A and B are shown apart, each in its own frame.
Chain A
Amino acid sequence: MSVQAPNPTSVDVRAPDPMLPRQFRIVETRLDTRDTVTLALDPVDGVRLEHRAGQFTMLHAFGVGEVPISICGDPTAPGPLLHTIRDVGAVTHALVTAAPGTTVGVRGPFGTGWEVADGMGGDVVIVTGGIGLAPLRPAILQVVSRRSEYGRVVLLYGARSPEDILFAEDMASWAADHDIVVEVTVDYGPPSWTGRVGLVTSLVARAGFDPLNSLALVCGPEVMMRYAATALVDRGVAAERIRLSMERNMKCGVGLCGHCQLREVFLCVDGPVLDYARLGPLMDIREL
């Protein structure tokens, strides 16, 4: 077996430091749901952050810490860098409650993207729930911008209750103006809710798309993604044509800290978007 010999001459000490954040300023904070906010960020140095749909950044709240957050804006459109953040801990709380004008640190972009253009010439089916819609929004905007190059486009979205539905206006616009079939369901609702009640994975069986000519994009809680992927496979979609965005604890975002490993996969470098043919066996193993 080969042993890697130390080779100091191959180490580039002038390499950029991936742990040093760039400074961005919050230009707008928009309240999406009772615990979710979308931040619009502008770079202090004026240099735009180029990224691909599905990638994430490490956002830094000064003095508190960093969290990985998916970028939810259109990669091709001008304008501020957008992130949708849910208040679940100290860092996200600091980001969600920060006033416009506050400087936050940004490292990235990191990870693999959805590459939804691989679905051109066929149908696209998107299965998502909760805040999982945020990392998919850039991919949907990509489809919208080249709508005629795709066949049927179906968006299946689930939320806990009607007041937790994210991007309701966007979804309405996609349905009304861009020939996207949008089906929304909730876990439960008040009597005024006349829409669907049930888990989003139940919608896969009867959704209108051709399983043999589709690209499926799935994002949400891991349990939801597992059952959505199974439902898609049951419909006849090939596992290689189903893409999931996986989540694990992340500290560095660049494959150095080790935290985000899913067996041999570094989710920050080899993912977070991976196909189900590779992920399926890994997701079957408990506590992997």
Chain B
Amino acid sequence: MRTLAEYLPEHPFFADLGPEAMELIVGCAQNVHFRDGELLFRAGEQADTFYVIRRGRVALDIHDPQRGTLVIASPGEGEVVGWSWLVPPYRWMFDARAATSVSAVALDGACLRGKCDRDPVLGYALMQRVAQVMLERLQDARLRLLDVYGSGS
């Protein structure tokens, strides 16, 4: 069983961050587990945690009164959940639910933000990585907006 300090640098999100930065980040981290179906967070709640997924899959849900609950994203192993901790108003936009049993590393958002305020180099490096995730998710979402498999395509 590896420690967080051993595992986190190998996670794709933290690749190439360097040992000093990793030490700062590990200081805000702890292991968490969710059972199949357990909620990670609800839409509207205070967003103060950043999840790095080790095993399993997390479903991000939206509820539409007419169409019911729809899963609109499903980050899994090697991916991350949530960036609302980094940007005001620090509030979750969706429900997040463990679609399978999930092992993850939870990073305290307030702790991380504090360290980024004091160390801009760390802050910039984390921002770059979050921007990368957001870009990929945004591109994916925009293309899905086209509904290319719909009956009009």
A–B contact with Cβ pairs below 8 Å: the answer is: yes
| Residues of A bordering B, CB below 8 Å | 35, 88, 129-130, 158-160, 164, 187-191, 193-199, 201-202, 206, 220-221, 223-224, 227
Q: Which residues of B contact A160 (CB under 8 A)?
A: 147, 149-150
Measured CA separation A187–B140 after assembly (Å): 9
Interface pair A187/B76, CB less than 8 Å apart: no
Interface pair A194/B148, CB less than 8 Å apart: no
Q: Which residues of B contact A220 (CB under 8 A)?
A: 148-149
Nearest 9 A/B pairs, CB to CB = A221-B148, A130-B149, A197-B74, A160-B149, A194-B99, A189-B71, A187-B144, A188-B70, A199-B143
- Which of A158, A187, A196, A206 contacts B147 (CB under 8 A)? A187
Q: Which residues of A contact B99 (CB under 8 A)?
A: 193-194
Measured CA separation A194–B102 after assembly (Å): 12
A–B Cβ pairs within 8 angstroms, 19 of them: A35-B151, A88-B151, A130-B148, A160-B147, A187-B144, A188-B71, A188-B144, A190-B69, A190-B70, A193-B71, A194-B99, A195-B74, A196-B57, A197-B60, A197-B71, A197-B74, A198-B74, A199-B143, A223-B146
Instruction: Given A191-B59, A194-B99, verify A224-B68 contact (CB < 8 Å).
Output: no
Measured CA separation A149–B149 after assembly (Å): 33
Interface pair A197/B136, CB less than 8 Å apart: no
A129-B149, A190-B69, A224-B148 known; 9 new pairs, CB 8 Å cut-off, are A35-B151, A159-B149, A189-B70, A191-B59, A191-B61, A191-B97, A194-B74, A202-B140, A223-B148
Question: Which B residues from 105 to 153 make CB contacts under 8 A with A?
Answer: 136, 139-140, 143-144, 146-151, 153
Measured CA separation A130–B153 after assembly (Å): 10
- Which of B71, B144, B148 contacts A190 (CB under 8 A)? B71
Query: Does B100 belong to the interface (CB within 8 Å)?
Result: yes
Interface pair A129/B148, CB less than 8 Å apart: yes
Instruction: Given A199-B144, A201-B143, verify A187-B149 contact (CB < 8 Å).
Output: yes
Measured CA separation A160–B100 after assembly (Å): 22
Measured CA separation A188–B149 after assembly (Å): 12
- Which of A189, A191, A197, A221 contacts B149 (CB under 8 A)? A221
- Nearest chain-A residue to B98 (Cβ)? A194
- Nearest chain-A residue to B36 (Cβ)? A194
**Whole-angstrom distance between the Cβ of A194 and the nearest chain B Cβ:** 4
Query: Does B40 belong to the interface (CB within 8 Å)?
Result: no
- Which of B61, B97, B153 contacts A221 (CB under 8 A)? B153
Measured CA separation A189–B59 after assembly (Å): 10
**Whole-angstrom distance between the Cβ of B79 and the nearest chain A Cβ:** 10
Query: Does B73 belong to the interface (CB within 8 Å)?
Result: yes
Question: Which B residues from 12 to 26 make CB contacts under 8 A with A?
Answer: none
Q: Which residues of A contact B32 (CB under 8 A)?
A: none
Measured CA separation A224–B143 after assembly (Å): 8
Measured CA separation A191–B63 after assembly (Å): 10
Query: Does B72 belong to the interface (CB within 8 Å)?
Result: yes
Interface pair A194/B153, CB less than 8 Å apart: no
Interface pair A196/B149, CB less than 8 Å apart: no
